[in-house]
Every structure is written in C-alpha cells, then in structure tokens.
Amino acid sequence: MSHYRATYTKGDRVKIARRDVLTEFRNTWRHQHPPDLDQIVFAGEDATVKSFGSFNGREDLYELDGIPGLWHERCLVPADPVSFLDRLRNLIRRILGRA
C-alpha cells in the first residue's frame, strides 16, 4: 500500500516559481525532468494542477493545465498561501483524527 501524498492535487491553484528559482533548479538538478528552457518563460504564472504523480517514488511531478512540460514540486508554490495553510491545517487535523 502506498502512503504517497502529493502537496498539490488535481484542481489546486499553484504559482510557478520565479525565473531565478527555476534557472538555479535547472542548473543544479542532476536527475530526471529538470525544467526545459521553454518552461522557464512561464515563471511567475498562475496555473491549475491537471495531474500529479511520483517519479520512482522520490520526485513529485505535476502536469499543469495549459502549460507544457512536467513540473517538480520545488518549482511550484501555492497560488494563495492563506488558503494553502488552511488546507494544510485541515489535512493535519484529519490525519490526527481531530476533524
């Protein structure tokens, strides 16, 4: 049984990281699926998660609606940090049985 829990799920709103963050990740990431140069032009854009999964159980990868490529979780931030924190608190409460 898998215990994988993605940070973002289908339909979640995210913001693609700043250009400098994407560029540094691209230059230092030594595994599969670094951001392509074509993807970096989308820095700072808001997007909706279309699908998600785990590559080899180690890398969280996301497909974004209307934006090409696969995106590492490290290249995304919540589009609305306040609602993200609320969702995180609710998830923790559910896990701890305090819903």
- Banded model confidence at residue 57, pLDDT cuts 50, 70, 90: low
Give me the mean pLDDT over the 41-52 stretch: 94
Query: What is the DSSP pairing of strand 46-55 with strand 13-16?
Result: antiparallel
CB 45 within 8 A of CB 14: no
pTM of the model: 0.73
The residue-averaged pLDDT of 71-85 equals: 82
Domain positions in the chain: 13-96
Closest CA to 35 of 47, 49, 20: 20
Whether the per-residue pLDDT at 3 is higher than 60: the answer is no
